[in-house]
């Protein structure tokens, strides 16, 4: 009974909203997300850092194994440590490097740029500068300037990690700084992108009661690639005693839940933090730390955090082992559910069938496809495990 002009008026009224939603929430990237970011103090970074971490990880397995995973997973882990032990690396000029004399940090920045220019670096790499807080701001900017002067055009996927972000204005300033650095060094537009470390309470909940991190995401003008949770800075800032600071503390879960909602649909990726219980010492200590790390990695994955931080070579075996186990455990059911969903869609049947009582909707089918894609990308699954060609998995 409605006239056409009612439809037209509604479209006209909501057209600006439609466009704004598309701009702000473009959806996920359909390119590989690394399973971790490895932080290496700047003065320890060298051109062959990835292969040296792989050898150290394999040595740890040989000395303290077996790993706490199924045999088929262990085979995949060992092959991964030989082939690509580090997926994503940050040259760290912040907490892992500490406060040094200006001449020393300048020299470290130049040396890191020279090492990165040579072969052997991981496919994905970046730099963590100091924060834009007043006490470290000038040093942070100078390190970026010196580093880029020595590096030239950064490799594709290069990202700057901006730590201890507490205010939307710091993100806005970082956007301007990236443009200034590109102009000064003759770089292409958007050559420098950054990720935001959420490790202070004001980054989660502002004085106005709003979720600050959501405002940060939409202030970054497309330059922000990720939100990384900082376990220990954040935990200490909200008053958690050192003994109980952990990725699985309720305070951590709250902060990460806010991050997750803020990033949803924007294309910005999430990363959990780290555990500081390192697999070092005697075999009992190493295996205890492995068990803890594997459990925490699995916990993050189950909560939708597909990336985390690793701080030591001996954490790599459990990073990959826990990740591969997660995907291989769930892949058969995911393949089955996705296949049955597609059967119902192609046959025009809206409901379930007698073989399975799960009634999946389009959004869940898309999540199943993304799950299988992630499993393929990280090496947990082979095409034969998935049963769908890749082109069909990236299509809605």
140-189 tens-digit pLDDT:
999 999 999 999 999 999 999 999 999 999 999 999 999 999 999 999 99
Nearest residue to 296 via CA among 352, 348, 229? 229
Q: What is the mean pLDDT of residues 311-324?
A: 98
* Distance, CA of 50 to CA of 38 (rounded, Å): 10
Q: Give the number of other CB atoms < 10 A from CB of residue 253.
A: 13
Domains and CATH numbers, the chain: 24-328 (3.20.20.60), 330-393 (no CATH)
pLDDT value, residue 352: 46
pLDDT, tens only, 328-362? 999 999 999 999 998 887 655 554 444 555 678 89
| Rounded average pLDDT over 128-142 | 98
Burial group, residue 389, by CB count within 10 angstroms (0-12, 13-18, 19+): exposed
What six digits make up the tokens of 391? Answer: 């082109």
Measured CA to CA, the distance from residue 338 to residue 25 in angstroms comes to: 25
**Which of 21-35, 239-253, 344-358 has the lowest average pLDDT?**
344-358
User: Averaged over 322-333, what is the pLDDT?
Assistant: 97
C-alpha of 116 from chain center: 21
Q: What percent of the chain has pLDDT over 70?
A: 96
């Amino acid at each position: 009974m409605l006239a056409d002009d009612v439809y037209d008026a509604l479209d006209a009224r909501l057209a600006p909203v439609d466009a704004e939603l598309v701009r702000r929430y473009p959806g996920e990237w359909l390119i590989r997300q690394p399973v971790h970011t490895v932080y290496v103090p700047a003065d320890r970074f060298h051109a062959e850092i990835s292969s040296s971490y792989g050898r150290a990880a394999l040595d740890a397995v040989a000395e303290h194994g077996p790993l706490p995973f199924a045999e088929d997973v262990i085979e995949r882990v060992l092959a991964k440590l030989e082939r690509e032990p580090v997926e994503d690396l940050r040259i760290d000029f912040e907490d892992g490097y500490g406060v040094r004399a200006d001449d020393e940090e300048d020299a470290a920045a130049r040396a890191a740029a020279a090492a990165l220019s040579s072969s052997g670096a991981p496919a994905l790499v970046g730099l963590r500068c100091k924060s834009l807080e007043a006490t470290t701001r000038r040093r942070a900017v100078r390190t970026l300037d010196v580093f880029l002067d020595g590096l030239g055009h950064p490799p594709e996927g290069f990202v700057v990690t901006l730590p201890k972000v507490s205010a939307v204005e710091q993100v806005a300033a970082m956007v301007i700084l990236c443009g200034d650095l590109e102009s000064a060094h003759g770089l292409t537009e958007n050559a420098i992108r950054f990720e935001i470390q959420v490790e202070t309470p004001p980054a989660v909940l502002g004085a106005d009661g709003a979720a600050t991190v959501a405002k940060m995401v939409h202030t970054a003008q497309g330059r922000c690639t990720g939100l990384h949770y900082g376990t220990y800075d954040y935990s200490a800032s909200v008053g958690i005693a050192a003994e109980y600071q952990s990725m699985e503390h309720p305070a951590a879960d709250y902060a990460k839940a806010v991050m997750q909602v803020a990033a949803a649909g924007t294309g910005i990726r999430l990363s959990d933090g780290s555990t500081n219980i390192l697999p070092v010492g005697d075999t009992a200590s190493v295996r205890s730390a492995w068990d803890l790390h594997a459990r925490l990695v699995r916990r993050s994955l189950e909560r939708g955090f597909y990336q985390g931080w690793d701080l030591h070579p001996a954490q790599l075996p459990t990073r990959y082992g826990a990740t591969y186990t997660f995907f291989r455990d769930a892949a058969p059911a995911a393949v089955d559910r996705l296949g049955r969903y597609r059967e119902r869609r192609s046959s025009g049947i809206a409901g379930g069938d007698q073989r399975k009582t799960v009634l999946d909707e389009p959004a869940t089918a898309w999540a199943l496809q993304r799950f299988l894609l992630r499993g393929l990308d990280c090496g947990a699954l082979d095409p034969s495990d998935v049963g769908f060609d890749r082109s069909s998995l990236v299509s809605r």
